[in-house]
A and B are shown apart, each in its own frame.
Chain A
Amino acid sequence: MSSAKILRLAISFYIILFFAYLFGPLIVMSITAFNSAGFPRLSPWDCFSTEWFGVLVNDARIMGGFKNSLIIGIAVVFVSVPIGLAGALMLGQLSNRVRPVFYTLTISTILVPGVVLGISTLIFWDRMGMMFNAGYESFFYDGIVLTIIGQSTFISAYTMLVFISRLQRFDPVLEEAALDLGATNIQTFRKILLPFLKPAIGSAAVLAFLASFENYNTTVFTIVTESTLTTVLASKVRYGINPSISALAVIIIGLTLTVAFIHEVLKRREQARGIALKKEGQTPKVKSEPYKVSRKLFRNPVPVMVLLIFVAGLGTAWKARGYNVQQCKIEAFAEKRKMQEELSKKRSSEMKKKLEDQKAASASANTSETKKAAPGTDHYGSIFAPTNLEGQVESDEKKMETPETPKNQYQSIFAPSNLEGQVESQE
């Protein structure tokens, strides 16, 4: 019994750890958006501020990329949802010999690396443009059109999978009945199949938009001279980072949670309707009993979560009333400065002491130290020259911006192991 308990405890611990891995990075990133420090970090915490959101909104490149991403995302929805639907319907009617081939081909669009898809799309339309002698302003060379095509190639497979799983629950008798009653094929499609697929169309559209919005690997090749949010972000993140990107992350996480929330509510409503329909016809299954019990407890976990976040936000806002960012910044700056001054004072007194020690010990130390440093490195031949020491003090001061770096480096300056470390850092 106790071993089972331990096992269960271990499993729970593992699950918690897993979700910490899942959410930790996102939470940390979101918090850094509110730190006024110029580098996104949790500690040292400078001041609570929302200035990075302002920086973000005023960033013309990010905003331009965002606009393009929106356009591409919406276009991809309109391209890939009909394609996915056609693919799913097609799959259901193919003969047993052709179906695996068709399925393999469609699934391959997901498995082929996005980089390869982007390259092949780019080359194909480039060659097509050459074949038709099209000018560079035609759509063959238009980054946005190419991106829509390239992304739709694999996003259509996602939407197709959504439709397939919905179609599996479709009762073909309904269709046959409609046809028998004299409806045309198109009427049957519009009045029977489409209404049945409506939730799947919604899910597929959301999925397609999100997949398009976050895609980078394909986009970076097909976008040519334009830019999307992801390509702008990539170049920004690669060359120096600041918390305005965290601010963007906060916004996107917020939007994602909202979309997830709406999606969940709609799904629940649909499910409730399904349960109600089932109750009319047949007795409810036994299996749904435990589900119902916990449903009461967790009936709406998402709204609870959103409410909690909202309350927390309100709380901080209330606490921040009359809180002056500028004031805090000045204080933080002054504090930092004080800390640095203290440190440099301490350091210089240490240096002085060391110099005195050095004079006393120079006779004995000199012999042993030079022996160690001699092979090959004239660096250390003049280790006791006063200019050398000054250089070290300087380099030390550069590091002072980060006071938590270990300072005991200089307490044992003559330890041979220490010297080795310095050789590395100097190199």
Chain B
Amino acid sequence: MILWFQKFFGRNGLVLSLYMLLVSFIWIVVMFVLPQIFMFDFSFRFNWTQIDPSKIGGPEDVYTLQHYKFLLLGSPNNPDPFNIVDVTVFARTILAAAFVTLFDLILCYPVAYYLAHVAKGGVTRLMMLSLVVPFWINELLRAFAFRILFGEEGTINNILLFLGILSQPIDFVRENIALYTGLGYAYILLMIFPIYNAVESLDRNQIEAARDLGSPWWRIHWRVVIPFAKPGITSGCTMVFMLSAGALALPQIIGGPSSLWFTQIIYQWFNTGSNWPRGSAYAVSLLVICVILVLLFMKIFKVKFGEIGR
């Protein structure tokens, strides 16, 4: 350890070493890890700020599990065995995020493969650029675009009515179709680029060899390309899953009125509910469950965390 520091300072000089160490420390510890720990700590506290601010730091400022209990069981006079609303919303959020991930994977894999091995030079560049541009446009505006498309008097309904396919407009927003398409849309890029990077490094000769040996195209993908691209696929899926489970803007704007996203409940505890500790408890739960699921997923597919984001 000391040896490493000696080498480090010797190589970079005092000023640069201090810059690198200090800035990295501030970033990782002060900006990221400590806030997470504080949030974790805060989720076990009573909501004194709202009830009685003078008790903060006093003898009654002790740890409590009440917020986690509330998430699972609801308020003490809740007749049901568990907190049906919040637990259902939680489960639905996770399931829907998984569904969006799968949708994006199926949608993006062919395109990533096409970009990496079929398209050539200029076309690839143009396609890459046109992939990136929608991603740069504000998330809110993208949600707004989907609202115009999927509204009850939206473009899609109008077209379908005009063509005579429908006789009655479909309420895409209530059915959550708008939300799932919007979420899938929002994270296309995060799915394509990791897969593209992985597939691109595959030696074309391997594909040729498989083809020469008489493999049909689907078996080439199943036995050669997909196993090779596994790290890319996993990292793409991880990112899409985490981000869509934690999405807030899209569910707020194009989510069905009767179905909440879990982040919306967290938001409510912070804003209208004025119960920050409970909001943090909910946020911690979301984070922990998502991380466990992702780690499980990686374990099943035997991918290491270090391969993500490359």
Name A residues whose Cβ lies closer than 8 Å to a Cβ of B: 7, 11, 14-15, 18-19, 21-26, 28-29, 32, 39-43, 82-83, 86-87, 89-90, 93, 95, 100, 102-117, 119-121, 123-124, 127, 130, 149, 152-153, 156, 161, 184-186, 189, 210, 213-217, 220-221, 229-230, 233-234, 237-238, 241, 245-246, 248-249, 252-253, 256-257, 259-260, 264, 290-295, 297-299, 301-302, 402, 404-406
A103 CB, nearest partner CB in chain B, Å: 6
CB–CB A41/B239 < 8 A: no
B118 within 8 A of A: yes
A110–B309 alpha-carbon span in the complex (Å): 9
CB–CB B246/A217 < 8 A: yes
CB–CB B33/A105 < 8 A: yes
Since A23-B130, A153-B32, A260-B132 are in contact, a sample of 12 more A-B pairs with Cβ atoms closer than 8 Å, ordered by chain A residue number, is A22-B131, A22-B134, A28-B145, A41-B155, A43-B155, A93-B12, A156-B27, A214-B139, A214-B140, A217-B248, A245-B141, A252-B137
CB–CB A249/B137 < 8 A: yes
Q: In chain A, what residue has the closest Cβ to B309?
A: A107
Query: What are 6 inter-chain pairs, A to B, with CB distance below 8 A?
Result: A22-B134, A41-B151, A103-B306, A109-B32, A189-B16, A253-B137
Given A11-B110, A106-B28, A214-B138, A234 contacting B309 (CB threshold 8 A): no
CB–CB A86/B20 < 8 A: yes
Given A23-B134, A237-B144, A256-B137, A42 contacting B158 (CB threshold 8 A): yes
Choose among A113, A257, A290 the residue that contacts B243 (Cβ–Cβ < 8 A).
A113
- Interface size of B by CB at 8 A reads 98
CB–CB A110/B239 < 8 A: yes
Name B residues whose Cβ lies closer than 8 Å to a Cβ of A: 4, 8, 11-13, 15-16, 19-21, 23-24, 26-28, 31-36, 38-39, 42, 56, 107, 110-111, 114, 118, 120-123, 125-127, 129-134, 136-149, 151, 153-155, 158, 161-162, 167-169, 185, 188, 217, 238-239, 242-243, 245-249, 252-253, 263, 266-267, 270, 276, 279-280, 283-284, 286-287, 290, 294, 305-306, 308-309
CB–CB B239/A111 < 8 A: yes
Enumerate chain A residues within 8 angstroms of B283, measured Cβ to Cβ: 113, 115-116, 119-120
A40–B39 alpha-carbon span in the complex (Å): 41
A19–B142 alpha-carbon span in the complex (Å): 15
A256–B136 alpha-carbon span in the complex (Å): 7
Count, A-B residue pairs, CB within 8 A: 276
A266–B42 alpha-carbon span in the complex (Å): 48
Interface centre among B4, B23, B107, B270 (most CB of A within 10 A): B23
Q: In chain B, what residue has the closest Cβ to A268?
A: B125
